[in-house]
Amino acid sequence: MFEGIIPALITPFHNDASKSLDLEGFRNCVEHVIKGGVHGLCACGSTGESATMTHAEHIRVIEETVSAANNRIPVIAGTGSNNTEEALLMTRGAKQAGADAVLLISPYYNKPNRSGLLKHYKKVADIGLPTIVYNIPGRTGQNLAPDLILEMARTMPNIVAVKEASGNIDQMMTIINGIKDLDRDVPFTLLSGDDSLTLPILSVGGKGVVSVTANIEPVRMVEMYNRFKKGDIQGAMEMHYELMELSKAMFMDVNPVPVKRAAELRGLIKCGDVRLPLDSLSPEMTEKLKEVLAHYD
């Protein structure tokens, strides 16, 4: 279920005082990536600005994702929190909304100890949805070490994958190597959390990427993945380098500021604004982004 190119979906807002949800624009984005051949959808993650959404908005976006996907591809819902009870509430909501899995960021700010982390993940995973652990120390302030991930994989059958955004390939290879001999009914997989590392991670046994770039160029991202799967390593490498400039541009400012402006420039949404405390892309960076996007037209 959790392989290939999985866009980390943006959440479009209207250009009004409250930056209200633009659900029409959201569905347009979902249709764009599905037509591009992606293998799954991930809503309400960091790229979806979940941190600034109310619980009601959060569940509404998950419901819209499930409805728009219409059983064509799996839906992963971001339901993580630094408050275990809140993560449980959101995960139950995602299950009721029809999500196929949840993405659970490690608790930020608290910096929980090892036993706290294990109990947190077990309690949420016991709700019964396939659960993907999300390790992104740059946003949480705490790295999930390979031995911790492997303990979860050994002892928690509902935890089925890790989205690895540490940038540490040695760490990722340790996890991939460690899961080879696990006795599980459901395979445990590693997904890249960084577009620029997609091909390197595939080459050492990773299974795909939760991608920012795929919001804009799903066809090219899927083509890179398909070439790799077919054994066309040279062709996959060519696509990797072709996409490199765009992948870098998606992080010229903090995510999701550039990708939302790119979606607006491409006509996928009417407004590429973000909610405070993030601010929209500067005019200077917007001009640079237009230059990059022109290379892919």
How far lies 207's CA from each of 26, 147, 241, in Å?
A: 26, 20, 19
Q: DSSP per residue over 77-138, as a string?
A: EE---SSHHHHHHHHHHHHHHT-SEEEEEPPTTT---HHHHHHHHHHHHTTSS-EEEEE-HH
Structure tokens at 106: 């490690």
CA-CA-CA-CA torsion sign (261, 38, 228, 134): positive
Residue 207 appears among annotated catalytic residues: no
Distance CA 264, CA 257 (A): 11
Distance CA 252, CA 248 (A): 7
How far lies 160's CA from each of 163, 188, 223, 228, in Å?
A: 10, 5, 25, 23
Marked catalytic residue, from 95, 163, 207, 260: 163
Marked catalytic residue, from 19, 95, 121, 134: 134
Distance CA 65, CA 71 (A): 10
Distance CA 221, CA 213 (A): 8
Residue 290 appears among annotated catalytic residues: no
SS3 23: helix
How far lies 68's CA from each of 209, 235, 251, in Å?
A: 21, 32, 27
Residues annotated as catalytic (active site), given as ranges: 134, 163
